[in-house]
Structure 1
């Protein structure tokens, strides 16, 4: 990699942030290109051909690109020889750990000083380390712990009967027991019994906790036939 004037691409859907970053990097002598994002971006992987055509030394990547997850770009871009630096508004350390596992060289918060980004670019351009093995391992452990937790929650959710799954899905929509009973043409007592069973199987004590657990596990109610 060149010792100065690195070829950098920015993938970020916050125009003001990206433009400011581009100006700062160009003042440091880097060649910078912002990757254009379509208005309706649903899969970050669709940006990969554009990124690879530019052949960047370094990619500065936001994780939240509209409806798309920027993390999908990390592994293929890294394989192509680009150093990936994630600059994100997310404070989820497990998510940071996933980025490191995919091959990101560094994860920086958008709330940090601009000089942190500039210093990271300098160090990478000079072939120096930007994340210690200990820092990387700690972040990856956050991701591993989160993955184990989600797996355990999904196992609890798998205990639900089809009817209980449907009731939980309606609770996630914000419906009350009375609404569910009316919609399902059963008594409120029946629905309350079903809710009680859901709470027991999910090992929680309230409907709100059950809904939160389902969201955290990324669970979706089965579609009604």
Structure 2
């Protein structure tokens, strides 16, 4: 069972999101918060598998709450839930350690897919957000490609292969199956890659993998 903490300052939004999550037999909402500070306190108390945080909340916004949850509850994955898709929100959310970004206006299936993906150690961007990020990347693709390739050049061939599969959105279990290794080995590779590249999370690594041309075509 995937244990989820839901934080949003609007009661009707919380009710709607809770109903969507409750429709999945493998997901359980264990706590709800109406502001960011309460979300951090409840995360520390309940240690959920996934914290689903709205970006705009009183007392402590979702971006700062995400950073604090990742600092104090390292086993809890964070996914941002918002109506906003501006560049600064996306980049700041990812920089705060969020592993996913889902729009409230998206398909309910995106929410369920995102929760499952980040729980399994993967990363998830809703299609609208993903297209937006890739469009922004495409504007400076050539220079980004050279920079990204230079950053990943120090990785071993196996590490680059794992990074490419992270960029393809595969979970640790899926990467292990693809490479015919145990999941623990993949976790070690991912940790080493993030450390060597000085990155906070898999979403940042996935973007770098795309920029470097490491993501397999199929």
Q: How high is the TM-score relative to the length of structure 2?
A: 0.52
| Equivalent residue for 1:12, pick from 8, 28, 38 | 8
Distance 1:69 1:28, change over 3 A: same
Tell me the number of residue pairs that the alignment of Structure 1 and Structure 2 aligns.
129
Partner of 1:23: 19
Q: State the distance in 2 between where 1:83 and 1:122 align.
A: 10
Structure 2 gap segments, 5+ residues each: 138-218
Partner of 2:45: 53
2:114 is paired with a residue whose SS is helix
Partner of 2:30: 33
| Alignment deviations for residues 87-122 of structure 1 (CA, whole Å, 9 cap, x no partner) | 101232212110101110111111111111111112
Q: State the distance in 2 between where 1:62 and 1:88 align.
A: 5
Distance 1:128 1:91, change over 3 A: closer
| Equivalent residue for 1:86, pick from 80, 97, 113 | 80
Q: How large is the RMSD of aligned CA atoms in angstroms?
A: 2.8
| Alignment deviations for residues 135-178 of structure 1 (CA, whole Å, 9 cap, x no partner) | 6xx59x89xxxxxxxxxxxxxxxxxxxxxxxxxxxxxxxxxxxx
Q: State the distance in 1 between where 2:16 and 2:38 align.
A: 25
CA positional deviation for 1:46: 5.2
Query: Is the contact made by 2:31 and 2:42 (CA closer than 8 Å) also made in structure 1?
Result: no
Structure 1 gap segments, 5+ residues each: 143-225
CA positional deviation for 1:77: 1.1
Partner of 1:102: 96
